[in-house]
Amino acid sequence: MTNPILLDLPAAIETERLLMRPPQAGDGPMLHLALVESIEALRRFLSSLSWVAAEQTVESAEAFCRNAQANFLARKDLPFLLFEKATGEIVGATGLHRTEWTVPKTEIGYWGRVSRAGQGLVSEAVAAISQYAFHHLKAERIEIVTDEENTASRRVAERCQFVLEGVLRQERRAPDGSLRNTCIYARLR
């Protein structure tokens, strides 16, 4: 296995409508706007996005961007912000997380800006980052893990040719204390 730090990974992915790149210093204010707009929707599934429980400030968004940039360079986590080419606006985020380099396998996470929901931007990003993982990471397996009640996330997985492999019953707790089921989707090389 190649040491992940030695992988020359492209730092940008382009699709028809998106420029996807790792967060970097200075992206915090733009990211903060997207988060504030979308925070209520993101907090519905805190067990998947625990970081959104914290207060969202321009400073916390900037710190996130700088940490994410460092993690990308260290190959610890591979986050990408989604910039709409036509406007330059951040319309969401995706990333390759919890990569097990010995397999190799990885997990895709994603969220979309509420005002841009229903336009297929997140599906476009997930399809592109899946190809990135298969081609550049040589991934054999890619997973999407989502709350069973997160129908929008499940539709993205299915649109991007991920197969539901199972439902983990009562696997997580929601913020209200209720037990939640978790869906495991996967695509193989």
- Total tally of structural domains belonging to the chain: 1
User: How far is the C-alpha of 142 from the C-alpha of 95, rounded, in Å?
Assistant: 12
Domain membership of residue 5 (yes or no) is: no
Three-state DSSP at 155 gives helix
Sequence-separated (6 or more) residues with CB below 8 Å from residue 153: 45, 48, 110, 144, 146, 147
Domain membership of residue 1 (yes or no) is: no
Domain membership of residue 3 (yes or no) is: no
63-77 pLDDT, tens per residue? 999 999 999 999 999
Domain membership of residue 7 (yes or no) is: no
pLDDT of 47 = 63
In this structure, what DSSP letter does residue 83 have?
A: E
Residues 75 and 90: beta-carbon distance below 8 Å:
no
User: How far is the C-alpha of 12 from the C-alpha of 129, rounded, in Å?
Assistant: 10
In this structure, what DSSP letter does residue 48 have?
A: T
pLDDT of 48 = 62
Q: Return per-residue pLDDT of the chain as tens, 189 residues.
A: 778 999 999 999 999 999 999 999 999 999 999 999 998 888 887 666 667 777 889 999 999 999 999 999 999 999 999 999 999 999 999 999 999 999 999 999 999 999 999 999 999 999 999 999 999 999 999 999 999 999 999 999 999 999 999 999 999 888 788 899 999 999 999
Domain membership of residue 146 (yes or no) is: yes
Domain of 18? 12-188
> Which CATH number covers residue 56?
3.40.630.30
In this structure, what DSSP letter does residue 24 have?
A: -
Domain membership of residue 45 (yes or no) is: yes
Domain membership of residue 82 (yes or no) is: yes
The angle at the Cα of 145, spanning 139 to 150, to the nearest 5 degrees, equals 140
Domain membership of residue 73 (yes or no) is: yes
Give bridge partners of residue 106 from the DSSP assignment. 142
Give bridge partners of residue 141 from the DSSP assignment. 105, 188
